[in-house]
Amino acid sequence: MAFPIRILGIDPGLRRTGWGVIVVEGNRMTFAASGTVLSDNRLPLSDRLRQLHDGLQEVIGQQTPDEAAVELTFVNKDAGATLKLGQARGIALLVPALNGLGVSEYAPNLVKKTVVGTGHAEKDQIRMMVKVLMPKATFNSDDAADALAIAICHAQHRVTPAAARIAEKLAR
């Protein structure tokens, strides 16, 4: 008998952090909720990070996920932008961990390949496939759609507690 698992996907960003929650029961995935946590770019970095923290904390409190998945950061040419994104990503990892959730990380290409079938999919392809996989899904931004894709990726690649115990026994 499969128990429903609520998965929170997080697409970290300093301006906009997307989030999406899906429910997985056996092989069935259903949409629960999605949205975007915003930070005010007129504020100092520390205040913006606090806004992301508080927003994600509120999402976790309202949505009560069982697990979380966060997209890995890609490195770009602008070192400053990469560093700021890394700090936002730190918040995206920290908040679920502080709430006792296991947090998995997935490369953007794996998320795209899992949801669309190719590792170099465009934003509109991701939005379309999320809607195909979950027709009732709604999202207010590309970031929220990406977060749902991250949750879907986790649902497809997650290691169940039973599989982890088996792997631990085999490693001995």
Q: How far apart are CA 46 and CA 166, in angstroms?
A: 43
Q: Which of 7, 13, 126 is nearest to 76 (CA)?
A: 13
Residue 124 annotated as catalytic: no
Residue 47 annotated as catalytic: no
Taking residue 5's Cβ as centre, other Cβ atoms within 10 Å add up to 18
Q: How far apart are CA 143 and CA 13, in angstroms?
A: 8
- Of 71, 105, 122, 142, which residue is the catalytic one? 71
Strands 102-106, 5-11: pairing kind: unpaired
- Of 47, 78, 143, 168, which residue is the catalytic one? 143
Tokens of 132: 């195909």
Q: How far apart are CA 96 and CA 56, in angstroms?
A: 8
Residue 66 annotated as catalytic: no
The distance between the two most distant Cα atoms of the chain, rounded to a whole number of Å, is: 54
Taking residue 52's Cβ as centre, other Cβ atoms within 10 Å add up to 27
Active site residues: 11, 71, 143
